[in-house]
Amino acid sequence: MTQNPEVVDFIAAIKEPWQRELAVRLRDVVHQALPDALERIQYKKPHFLKNGKYAAVISTSKDAVSFTIFNVTGLILPEGLFEGPPERKTIKIRQGNEVDMDQLLSLVRQAAETL
């Protein structure tokens, strides 16, 4: 995994400890699923690319961490967990929510197969 210093700094600057820890875990999920993912800051948030195409994005808001997976058309997603247009889906994780990281890992891996 190649760590982009801008992404390292972005995550380190997240003020809420639970959001920072979750962002680290989500970043690890992406790199487990896509060991060759390129990461960069774009639109003021970490983006992860495979073959020059978006695979995932992490963003934070006041009370949540959002994780977007691209290229999900045709994937079977858990009911009620994700929102967004057919080609990309976002999960909003709030403090205290349980997240199945293995499930996210599997979804990122599947979505990126055709990138």
pLDDT score recorded for residue 1: 62
Q: What is the number of alpha carbons within 13 Å of residue 99 lying toward its C-beta?
A: 23
Kindly report, residue by residue over 4-18, the tens digit of the pLDDT. Answer: 999 999 999 999 999
The number of residues making up the chain comes to 115
pLDDT of residue 42: 96
pLDDT score of 100:
96
Global model pTM greater than 0.85:
yes
E strand or H helix that includes residue 61: none
Q: What is d(CA 6, CA 112) in angstroms, rounded to the nearest whole number?
A: 23
Alpha helix (H) ranges present in 67-115? 101-112
Tokens of 85: 């247009």
pLDDT at 3: 85
Nearest to 79 by CA among 67, 68, 89, 69: 89
Other C-beta atoms closer than 10 Å to the C-beta of 73 total: 12
| pLDDT score of 2 | 72
Which residues does the chain have with pLDDT short of 50? Answer: none
DSSP summary character for residue 2 = P
C-alpha 12/C-alpha 46 separation (Å) is 12
